[in-house]
Amino acid sequence: MPRETNQARAERTRKIIAGLQRTYPTAHCELNFSNPLELLVATILSAQCTDKRVNLVTAELFKRYRSAADFANAPLAELEQAVKTTGFFRNKAKNIQACCRKLVERHDGEVPRMMDELTALDGVGRKTANVVLGNAFGINVGVVVDTHVTRLANRLGLTKQGDAVKIEQDLVKLVPPAQWTLFSHWLIWHGRRRCAARKPDCAHCEIAALCPSAAI
């Protein structure tokens, strides 16, 4: 099979985007939030945890802690108990508290809108920063690369990388900047609803004709 040219891959990506956009016209972040701080905390909690579980936890959490100062000043044991069912709760509670203390000290309790300022916060890497920038502020700085995006980007032949930073570098070359945030939502929704890790539903896949891994 001849190697795909960059131009051919870019054209195929355009068709994949069109197919996913038709299939998931309402795709959005499935973490519940009403402000940037809530999304930041929810995204930290979402590591190794389902969005459904995080939403159950944050429904109560955000009633109790409404500001960065609330999280910063909470007794750590109390915060740990509040997020316990999301897994890795001691580390998550510690990161949320340290992150919120920096928000209070450096940013007057507000969530910053810059990648470098976000990634300087405890528990915040590029993925979390991209989630917050894209969904809370509508700022497209990069593509969120989670487990679904990693799996689908490789299956679709858009990258051969396993490292999230390298995957993101490949994807931003193929996807128009205005669609970077939406593209991750489309892949995540497709990963949850059609292209599962163990048994992808290739027979009913809306973009199977564009996927080199289909029916393998």
Query: Cα–Cα distances in Å, from 192 out to 46, 50, 188, 199?
Result: 15, 11, 6, 11
Contact 159, 166 (CB under 8 A): yes
Report yes or no: 100 and 69 within 8 Å, Cβ to Cβ.
yes
Cα angle value 43/184/129 (rounded, 5°): 40
127 given a catalytic annotation? yes
**In the chain, what is the greatest distance between 2 CA atoms, to the nearest angstrom?**
60
Lookup: tokens for 89:
């709760």
| Whether 68 contacts 109, CB under 8 Å | yes
Catalytic residue among 70, 122, 146, 170: 146
Active site residue 122: no
Are 127 and 180 in contact by the 8 Å Cβ rule? The answer is no
Could you tell me if 111 and 40 are in contact, meaning their C-beta atoms sit under 8 angstroms apart? yes
Indicate which residues carry an active-site annotation: 127, 146
